[in-house]
Amino acid sequence: MGCSAPDSGSGNAGSAAAADSVAAAGPAAPQAPADSPLRLVAALREPQFVGVAVTPDGRVFANFPRWDNNPVTPVAIISSDNSVKPYPDAAWCTWNESVRNEPQKHWICPQSVHADKTGMLWVLDPASPGLKGTVPGGPKLVRIDPKTDKVVQNISIPESVASRKSYLNDVRIDTQNSYAYITESGVGSLVVVDLKSGKARKLLAMHPSMMGDTTLNIKADGHEMIDATGKRARFNADGIALSQDLQYLYWKPLTSYKLYRIKTEALRNPALSDAQLAQQIEDLGKVPACDGMEIDANNNLYMTAFENHSIVRRTPAGKIETVVQDPRLEWPDTFAFANGSLYVTASAIHKTPTWNKGVGKQDQPYSIFKMALPK
């Protein structure tokens, strides 16, 4: 599940907000190639969403981070008619002056939704509206039981792990060992959470494998990612995936062509120092720049290759294969694998004001697509 580059807007999550628009009106979106396997699941004009999760009963969840707007439903169920329903309820989706003293009970800037192998839904909230710094006491990892739509675990990530400059980005759950593995893209680190004790540890902060590469001319739609100050995009540890046997954790910085992995056993060992962990990191070589990642039953690693509107996969042998290329994949962002299908969001991050001298270039709805998971 993927990251992203926020817009530099007001970042005022406490301001009044209009109801979320669900109409797919406006300029025509890019047309689907005749042979595209992608089928449209949802299309929302505003606000921007980035993550998707699908539970075994087929419900589709999305998260809308508070970057430069204040979505009414920062975590929502999206229905087939494009309607959005706050999840798990309206109270959790409220963030304003009236609830500032309860940062652990409300979505502040949720970045990721993820369904684990048991069907539990996890929401990762870096609690940094507008990416302007975390709200004290706000960063959290929350487990919801979709069968009851109730929060069953709420783990606060302390400031010693998620500093004010941090941005918890994406999460994978090891249901066998009861651990969560999180990429953190603000500083550039991994966060490992013991789900039984609730204890979180920050690992490998600012290690080269965690850091975006500023020497690259990362592009989308042929448009180089440069902000209003002339700085090239630099996004740190972002995409994350667990091997099917749970033995390896894969990750990569977003603005990088490098892929890395490490044994999860090492990450779970609190006796190992960062220096000792660093010795166990494997550099798997060059892959496309990507946002989200996921691994299928055959250990193919799927990546959202945003530079050319594609989804690619890396086979266990290291071969890079194009799964689908479709102009509608405007910054393919995050995956969900469910019920034999691959779901992917298109978040059009490169068209937001941050990367267009303050002027939004978004000309199509933000979308969720799905296709049969390739064999």
Residue 28's pLDDT is what? 57
- Residue 47 contacts residue 69 (beta carbons within 8 Å): yes
Residue 29's pLDDT is what? 64
Residue 23's pLDDT is what? 43
Instruction: Measure the N-to-C terminal CA separation of the chain; round to a whole number of Å.
Output: 21
Examine residue 47 and say whether the peptide bond preceding it is cis (omega within 30 degrees of 0). yes
Residue 364's pLDDT is what? 81
| Exposed/middle/buried for residue 136 (C-beta within 10 Å: 0-12, 13-18, 19+) | exposed
Q: Which amino acid is at 22?
A: V
Six-digit token pair at 270? 């609190």
Name residues of the chain where pLDDT drops below 50: 1-27
Over residues 9-21, the pLDDT tens digits come to 333 333 333 344 4
Residue 18's pLDDT is what? 36
Q: What is the third-level CATH fold of 39-372? A: Neuraminidase (2.120.10)
- Report which DSSP code applies to 9: S
